Amino acid sequence: MVVIKFGGSLQSTDYIKKWINAIKLNRDTSFLIIFGGGSYANSIRLEQKIKKYDDLKAHKLAIKGMAYFTQDILDEYNDFTVINSVRNLQKNYKSRKLLIWMPSHEEVCNFNLPNNWDVTSDSIALAISKSINSPLLVIKSVRFNCKRYLNNFFLKDNILDKYFSKNYKYSPQKISLVSRDKHYKLREICKDFFD
């Protein structure tokens, strides 16, 4: 299985459709898809500054934002199996299905991550992939030039959240950061993961 995390910046683009089509065509492995918070999380960041609520409340609302983005996708695609816990994922792990993660604050708490903006959907996806020992593919709206896709990190400010940037090297699974327009390279990326 490969965990694929879509950055929230892809929310209003056609790239999600292109990636989902590539995922559906790649029948060699199972995929668990995780979506960022997109415009929902951006609104929460702004609202927190105005209303001055604490990071814990903002963190809970940002996870709800991830769920809203996920539901937007589910409203468009009806061929996903919804996964709402790691335990539920383990029951479906060997099935060749298209899996999509529906986040909740309760489930995220099981990963023992900080409840602040140092942790976003990037670190949540890392925790999920680590808990099931699966490779992680993070798709971002940033251009990268690379010949191989395995562990291709450019840890510049604001590409990945702070917690991810500090902790990915302690994760045993393979991780790749890929530009949003590389959907046609999915099979090659997966090959790098499993070689």
Q: Tens of pLDDT along 47-106?
A: 989 999 999 999 999 999 999 999 999 999 888 889 998 888 877 766 667 899 999 999
Which domain range does residue 57 map to? 2-194
| Total of domains in the chain | 1
pTM of the predicted protein model: 0.90
**Distance from C-alpha of 160 to C-alpha of 97, rounded to nearest angstrom:** 28
At 161, which CATH number?
3.40.1160.10
Chain segment 173-184, per-residue pLDDT in tens = 889 888 899 999
